[in-house]
Structure 1
Amino acid sequence: MKLVIVPLDERPCNYHFPYELTRGTSYQAVRPPHEWMGRKKIAADTQRLWTWTKLECQSADGAVIALDTLLYGGIVPSRLHELDMDELTRRLDQLKQLKEQNPSLKLFAFQLIMRCPQYSSSDEEPDYYADWGREIFRKGYLEHYGEEHTLTTEEQQELDDINSRLPQEVLDDYLGRRAVNREINRLALDYVEQGVIDFLIFPQDDSAPYGYTARDQQEVRTRIRALRLGLRVYMYPGADEVGCTLVARMINQLSNHIPQVYVRFSSVNGAFIIPAYEDRRLYETLKYQIIAAGGMVASDEQSADILLLLNTAGEKMGEAVYQGSPSANYDTERTTVELVEYAGYILDRNPDAVVAIGDIAYANGGDLELLDLLRQRGILYQLAGYAGWNTSSNTLGTVIAQSMIYRMYGATQEHMDFLALRYVEDLGYDSVVRKYLSNGPIQELGLDKFQLDGERGYVAEMVRSHLEQFIVEHLQENGVRIDIQDCYMPWNRMFEVGLSIRTHQSVQDHKGEQS
């Protein structure tokens, strides 16, 4: 069977991860050439991508489409464009033509509700966001919050101060773009109602309970209810993992599988933590992540196809760069040891058990203590999936998708490569190398973590060298050898890394000797 994937942008998490998950399966996935995908703030050629999509869908069974790519040219251009409704409606109309020409095509799509970051930075936003980003967020937050609660004197003074300083032309530009994007969100819902889109996700990027984004979410949610689309349109925290989620959903549906997922936590409080950058308790998002990927939440391990073990904080989710300091939040309010012992116990009894770990103890990186425990137990490469990158939802969507595909196809070479990639990137880069290089070596080169020396410059060489050392020290187990075949910096900054990983495994006899 053939799947068409239109990624959200050119970064590895969007362009490579969903595609890599299909490798080693009975599904042939196709995606646009990487050079067609635009670059960060430079929009992709949408008409070229539409032409490619229409052509490939003629022979496809299913399509996973990021609407922001075909409408705006990518996730960042969706926050920068100056397109009007007429042009965007014309572009979206091509989706209707696509379904009319391919009525049996199963079409899953996702579309972001425009985010409103809480900080002042123009790295992924309009230039004026560097000066006014925090004020724009606070204005939206306070006005929205004030509709449901009484603002304190200090809060009202803050709002008055922002209103007196924030340039009107800045606010007009920002709110004008939000209004256009919001109307396109509504139009996408009409396409679901008409049967053009079979299933749609509105991921919430950098969520907050109040503000401009929360208002837009309320409008979309009201529209979903009015059209009675609650079972065909989901809205929950996330963004860069949704391609993986919908690929898993597509494979599950085309294979007539509904995997049952049993969840176990490292802390009794884990299910109730509100993860960083999200707007609700973990367990509520978790349920959406599982059903969005085509599964169901199992009530016990006996009825489950997949055991998903979640490594959480004990009280509040911190940042991975600060791990290692004494903290009751991580030292006494959770029991990671029990989680690892349980995983080992299950795999000892049944080596074919599907056991995956979602490492969401920290934001923006994996838990190095968990890694050490997995190595001590000798199960690092027996897992059906692992992820520990960026937000809780990014991690959950990735590991759930991988474990569902593993359940069907087992420990293929491609599975082992993706599993090792997660260890190298989420633990090696996100939790160790990025922090080390960003706090000194980068500055010594006269560079900045937001502006390096190119995608494949000296910094990329430094990253590769340090990751190779991390592999030697932390990831060599049970005869598994990991080779880094490529290493680059996709957006010429330190936040993300692009890696190509290959695993090699020595055959061991019953005495544990390599042959």
Structure 2
Amino acid sequence: MSIRHRVHRVIYVPLDDRPCNVVHVQLLARMVDYELLIPPIEMLGRYTRPGDADAIATWMLREASAGSIDSAILSLDMLAYGGLVGSRSPDVRTETALQRLDALTELRQMLPDAAIYAHNVIMRLSITASSDDAAVHWQLLHEYSVTKGRVEALGEDSDRQRLAELETLIPLPLLSKYEACRERNHQVNRRAIDETAQGNLDYLVLAQEDAAPYGPHIQEQRHLAHLADQHRLTDRFAIHPGADELGQTLFARFVHSHMEKTPSVYVLYANPDDADNVAQFEDRPFSDTLSGQLMTVGVSTTTDPAEADFVMGINPPATGERADYQSSDMLTARQEQAREFFDMLLQTAGDKRMAICDVAFANGAEDCFARALLDQRVPLRQMLSFSAWNTAANSVGSALAHASLRLIALQDKGAFDLASLLVDLSPMRYLQLLDTLIDSETAHAGLLFSHLADDWLYQTQIRPQVTEHVVNLLRASIFDLADSSQQVQNMVSDMLTRAAADLWATHFLGKESVRIGPEDNAASVALAELEETRITLPWGRLFEVDLHFNFGMELVASS
């Protein structure tokens, strides 16, 4: 039974089958009681096996023809090439990729009044590192792309000399394939802008995947932005860093637009001097990355925390790399900064709810920052989101999407409380609505806990240990575990299951998630036992884990 006056249905074509693109978006939809329609998982491909783009387009149009669709959120990389990894392969010809986008015209004809949002990636500066040999070529191609960009922008002789050296080190067929992919993808991005201008897309994000301040992407971005300006797409188009978070951010954008909500946030930095640092794998100051994600999600900023709907605490990109901060003096300074920051965050937020985002380093939380978050006992019921995964854009985008949709879920809870007071609900209707609210709470708590378990426990603590074991003892590749896959997955599962159980017991078990009912007769929805943990390596490598946690919720009379 939905808490809304009718079921809201969204067609969703994800970037690929990884949890960030499927499971996390499903949890967000459960939080706000929307129905998310996703292609069968077998259509989406897996890692280097591309998704079935033609079958997905057929599925999409079939769902649209059934009617009652409010929105479609589409990865054009999936529709054109079969997903993100497929976009880095030359297997799909330019003509085929462009022809596949003809489905957007058919979709608009079927959904003339629905909001259709899409995203597509501006290609990263290298290929997919799917083996140890490919990792060597990844590094060479990345350096080649950056150096070529520096030559074009700065014209320094040392860069010209290094570029010539790199051209001899990179196999010519590989370089040709890489540059052919770039050109094809650029043509598809031009086509996406045309589709937006024609009205087939209501909003388009071209996301800059892993990049740097110099490279061929800079000129590509300028060209695409100029084309969008020619079509006068100012309010319907964006270019900013990102990729894996876009299913979440565009879903949040649709919900905000559909419900006519523009939440406001006050941003507090752990170190304001670092806000303009360029994060690893990005091409612009972090403050610009944040602005782009805010625009896509549909969240405004305020300089007065009293006026904000929520406060966002950010650990901004540090100067240097994670290894630079491992000395005793540097570590002590970072620990003290984190403790002082959370004291300031709690004081600034007061009773307001908080989103926490850690982008100090790529691919995992800063250990002392996550520990300070838990040690300073930020109340669970005030935590809207936590994120510290992959790139800065991925983290801040998903943190904003989760936080802002959590606010809508809390507003739904308020509407439920009011209806309980003013409307004579039957016991059956009351229990149905209560079940919906508890499912929303379960989805929120599950996503929050998954980020802490993945972004901190796994990425920061466990993954480095397992990587050392895989490389030094098993002599396996971290990019493709192959025959060692089951052994390594069992090792990850055992270590992470124990760590997650400790985290749950210490910081989640028995904690109040939300309070429901009128003040004089309120009850708390509290987190009960962690009943089951299932952990897999979905792509047979160590870069990501798929986490499934089953836990209970219980109603407790408020004191």
TM-score normalized by the length of structure 2 = 0.83
1:469 to 498, 501, 505: 498
Q: CA, structure 1 residues 430+215, in 2 after alignment: closer, same or farther (shift >3 Å)?
A: same
Where does 1:251-262 land on structure 2 (aligned, <5 Å)?
A: 251-262=255-266
Q: CA, structure 1 residues 435+143, in 2 after alignment: closer, same or farther (shift >3 Å)?
A: closer
Matched, 1:226 2:241: no
Alignment identity in percent? Answer: 26
Distance 1:59 1:425 in 2: 36
The structure with the greater share of residues assigned to helix is 2
Matched, 1:146 2:158: no
Distance 1:146 1:75 in 2: 28
SS in 2 for 1:26: coil
Q: Residues 252-290 of structure 1: CA distance to partner in whole angstroms, max 9, x if unpaired?
A: 111110111110001121311211111111111111111
| Offset of residue 133 of structure 1 | 3.8
SS in 2 for 1:253: helix
SS in 1 for 2:253: helix
Q: Residues 48-75 of structure 1: CA distance to partner in whole angstroms, max 9, x if unpaired?
A: 1011111222331011100000110011
1:486 to 514, 521, 534: 534
| Offset of residue 193 of structure 1 | 0.7
What corresponds to 1:17 in structure 2? 24
Q: CA, structure 1 residues 508+461, in 2 after alignment: closer, same or farther (shift >3 Å)?
A: farther
Partner amino acid, structure 2, of 1:87 = T
Where does 1:168-187 land on structure 2 (aligned, <5 Å)?
A: 168-187=172-191
Q: Please say which of residues 218-227 and 64-73 is displaced more in the overlay.
A: 218-227
Q: Please say which of residues 432-441 and 401-410 is displaced more in the overlay.
A: 432-441
What corresponds to 2:50 in structure 1? 43
Matched, 1:269 2:298: no
Q: Please say which of residues 437-446 and 72-81 is displaced more in the overlay.
A: 437-446
What corresponds to 2:407 in structure 1? 407
Q: CA, structure 1 residues 300+440, in 2 after alignment: closer, same or farther (shift >3 Å)?
A: same
Where does 1:52-451 land on structure 2 (aligned, <5 Å)?
A: 52-57=59-64, 58-117=67-126, 122-123=129-130, 130=135, 132-152=137-157, 154-313=158-317, 315-316=318-319, 318-319=321-322, 324-326=326-328, 328=330, 331=333, 335-345=337-347, 349-350=350-351, 353-379=352-378, 381-382=380-381, 383-410=383-410, 412-440=441-469, 443-451=472-480
| Offset of residue 155 of structure 1 | 2.4
Paired residues of 2:85 and 2:128 also in contact (CA < 8 A): no
Distance 1:223 1:494 in 2: 39
Runs of 5+ in structure 1 lacking a partner? none
Q: CA, structure 1 residues 437+173, in 2 after alignment: closer, same or farther (shift >3 Å)?
A: closer
Q: CA, structure 1 residues 435+482, in 2 after alignment: closer, same or farther (shift >3 Å)?
A: farther
| Offset of residue 470 of structure 1 | 1.5
| Offset of residue 446 of structure 1 | 4.8
Q: CA, structure 1 residues 483+466, in 2 after alignment: closer, same or farther (shift >3 Å)?
A: farther
Q: Residues 7-35 of structure 1: CA distance to partner in whole angstroms, max 9, x if unpaired?
A: 10011111211122111323111111211
Q: Please say which of residues 409-418 and 88-97 is displaced more in the overlay.
A: 409-418
The CA RMSD measured in Å over matched residues stands at 2.6
Aligned pair count reads: 501
Q: CA, structure 1 residues 406+145, in 2 after alignment: closer, same or farther (shift >3 Å)?
A: same
Q: Residues 85-115 of structure 1: CA distance to partner in whole angstroms, max 9, x if unpaired?
A: 3322221011111101210111000000111
| Offset of residue 408 of structure 1 | 0.9
Q: Please say which of residues 187-196 and 470-479 is displaced more in the overlay.
A: 470-479
What corresponds to 1:498 in structure 2? 546
Distance 2:151 2:471 in 1: 44
SS in 2 for 1:439: helix
SS in 2 for 1:209: coil
Q: Residues 441-490 of structure 1: CA distance to partner in whole angstroms, max 9, x if unpaired?
A: 66434533223257972322221221122134444225254455321101
Paired residues of 2:28 and 2:444 also in contact (CA < 8 A): yes
Matched, 1:3 2:10: yes
Distance 2:319 2:272 in 1: 13
Partner amino acid, structure 2, of 1:145 = R
Q: CA, structure 1 residues 187+18, in 2 after alignment: closer, same or farther (shift >3 Å)?
A: same
Distance 2:281 2:473 in 1: 32
Paired residues of 1:259 and 1:404 also in contact (CA < 8 A): yes
Paired residues of 1:316 and 1:329 also in contact (CA < 8 A): no
| Offset of residue 182 of structure 1 | 0.8
What corresponds to 2:429 in structure 1? none
Partner amino acid, structure 1, of 2:255 = I
Distance 1:50 1:334 in 2: 52
Q: CA, structure 1 residues 332+167, in 2 after alignment: closer, same or farther (shift >3 Å)?
A: closer
Paired residues of 1:488 and 1:498 also in contact (CA < 8 A): yes
Q: CA, structure 1 residues 163+463, in 2 after alignment: closer, same or farther (shift >3 Å)?
A: closer
Distance 1:76 1:400 in 2: 26
| Offset of residue 373 of structure 1 | 2.3
TM-score normalized by the length of structure 1 = 0.90
Partner amino acid, structure 1, of 2:342 = V
Partner amino acid, structure 2, of 1:450 = F
Q: CA, structure 1 residues 388+332, in 2 after alignment: closer, same or farther (shift >3 Å)?
A: closer
Runs of 5+ in structure 2 lacking a partner? 1-7, 411-439, 511-526
